[in-house]
């Protein structure tokens, strides 16, 4: 028995030598590991992560002259964002107003005809419903604007001049702004002002926070000239107004 006890003690001692108990991590160890990762790895930017979160929910909205679908002439292009995974899309009313036929193109290349199922003229909003949707179509995450403050970083995603999807980055410049359309026909109120570059074709696209949530629908740019190019002031309809256009509250 004594010999057995000695053998067992020796085995335990040998195991302890071969498998020492690891020293507990200190805060200095953690800080060093994080610093090493930051110095040796290229991490995606906040804007890149925000775009990745919303990319598959952004659509190209196309306006056609003919309603037949044969030899159609495209007369306009804008942007939209999927807010319900059954193909319900938010865009601007001025993007689709007067269109004989509306087409949408999803992120995976799927194309579909779409119908206007609701409008909110006082906020320049239209709700579209696509006839065909891709499998596993994701809806964008919507977020309240109640905690937004000037200086918060945002991205605008859309199809400026039909090119895209394109991403621009900036900050919220102001809240509760007013904007009158270039034709002077409609005064929009309670708008988000931002400085992420936007141009014709961005209309209807999402304004997105750094956590990948949609807080507004891009609706217009302020320009003192007739060139229709961005000079640093864009406007978006808060998502609360946009959600009301489809009779839903996202919060």
Q: What is the pLDDT of residues 22-33, one digit of tens each?
A: 667 788 777 777
Query: Looking at residue 101, which CATH number applies to its domain?
Result: 2.40.10.10
**What pLDDT is attached to residue 183?**
58
Question: Considering only CA atoms, which of 105, 109, 108, 107 is closest in space to residue 130?
Answer: 105
In a domain, 21, yes or no: no
59 and 124 together in one domain: yes
Q: Which residues contact 28 (CB under 8 A, 6 or more apart)?
A: none
In a domain, 45, yes or no: no
Residues 241, 93 contacting (CB under 8 angstroms): no
57 and 126 together in one domain: yes
107 and 178 together in one domain: no
Q: How far apart are CA 200 and CA 161, in angstroms?
A: 6
**What pLDDT is attached to residue 163?**
93
**What pLDDT is attached to residue 131?**
95
Domain end call among 130, 164, 188: 130
Share of the chain above pLDDT 70, in %: 81
| Catalytic residue numbers, as ranges | 94, 124, 203
Instruction: Determine the average pLDDT of the residues in 43-51.
Output: 90
- For residue 12, what pLDDT band results from cuts at 50, 70 and 90? low
**What pLDDT is attached to residue 132?**
94
In a domain, 28, yes or no: no
Question: Considering only CA atoms, which of 110, 116, 114 is closest in space to residue 133?
Answer: 110
CA within 13 Å, CB half, 19: 3
Total structural domains in the chain? 2
Q: How far apart are CA 208 and CA 50, in angstroms?
A: 7
In a domain, 222, yes or no: yes
Q: Which residues contact 52 (CB under 8 A, 6 or more apart)?
A: 44, 212
238 and 161 together in one domain: yes
Structure-model confidence comparison of residues 40 and 79, the more confident one: 79
Residue with tokens 């406007």: 235
**What pLDDT is attached to residue 6?**
65
In a domain, 250, yes or no: no
Q: How far apart are CA 89 and CA 58, in angstroms?
A: 9
124 and 157 together in one domain: no
For residue 26 the two structure tokens come to 């200190």
In a domain, 11, yes or no: no
**What pLDDT is attached to residue 70?**
60
117 and 157 together in one domain: no
Q: Summarize pLDDT for 99-120 with one digit per residue, the tens.
A: 889 999 999 999 999 999 988 8
**What pLDDT is attached to residue 21?**
64
Share of the chain above pLDDT 90, in %: 57
Instruction: Determine the average pLDDT of the residues in 198-203.
Output: 93
46, burial (CB in 10 Å: exposed 0-12, middle 13-18, buried 19+)? middle
Q: How far apart are CA 222 and CA 176, in angstroms?
A: 15
* Run of H or E including 58: strand 58-64
**What pLDDT is attached to residue 107?**
95
Residue with tokens 């320009």: 223
**What pLDDT is attached to residue 157?**
98
Q: Summarize pLDDT for 109-160 with one digit per residue, the tens.
A: 999 999 999 888 888 999 999 999 999 999 999 999 999 999 999 999 999 9
Provide the domain limits for residue 110.
Answer: 51-130
Q: What is the mean pLDDT of the chain?
A: 85
For residue 168 the two structure tokens come to 């621009």
Instruction: Determine the average pLDDT of the residues in 56-61.
Output: 97
Identify the DSSP state of 203.
T
How far is CA 33 from each of CA 37, 139, 185, rounded to the nearest angstrom?
6, 37, 59
Identify the DSSP state of 97.
T
Phi first, then psi, for residue 73 (nearest 5°) are: -105, 120
Worst-scoring range by mean pLDDT, 66-75, 177-186, 207-216? 66-75
In a domain, 91, yes or no: yes
């Amino acid at each position: 028995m004594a010999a057995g006890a000695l053998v067992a003690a020796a085995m335990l001692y040998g195991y302890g030598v071969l498998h020492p108990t690891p020293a507990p991590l200190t805060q200095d160890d953690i800080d060093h590991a994080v610093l090493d990762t930051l110095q040796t790895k290229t991490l995606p930017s906040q804007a890149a992560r925000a775009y990745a979160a919303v990319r598959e929910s952004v659509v190209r909205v196309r306006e056609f002259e003919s309603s037949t679908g044969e030899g159609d002439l495209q007369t306009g292009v804008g942007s939209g964002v999927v807010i319900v995974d059954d193909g319900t899309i938010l865009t601007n009313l001025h993007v689709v107003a007067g269109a004989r036929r509306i087409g949408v193109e999803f992120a995976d290349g799927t194309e579909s005809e779409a119908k206007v199922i609701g409008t909110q003229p006082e906020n320049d909003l239209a709700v579209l419903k696509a006839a065909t949707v891709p499998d596993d179509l994701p809806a964008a995450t919507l977020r309240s604007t109640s905690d937004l403050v000037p200086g918060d970083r945002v991205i605008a995603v859309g199809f400026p001049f039909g090119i895209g999807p394109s991403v621009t980055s900036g900050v919220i410049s102001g809240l509760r702004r007013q904007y009158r359309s270039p034709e002077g026909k409609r005064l929009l109120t309670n708008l988000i002002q931002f400085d992420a570059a936007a141009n014709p074709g961005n209309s209807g696209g999402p304004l997105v926070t750094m956590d990948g949530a949609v807080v507004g629908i891009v609706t217009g740019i302020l320009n003192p000239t007739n060139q229709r190019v961005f000079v640093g002031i864009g406007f978006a309809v808060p998502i609360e107004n946009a959600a009301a256009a489809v009779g839903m509250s996202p919060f």
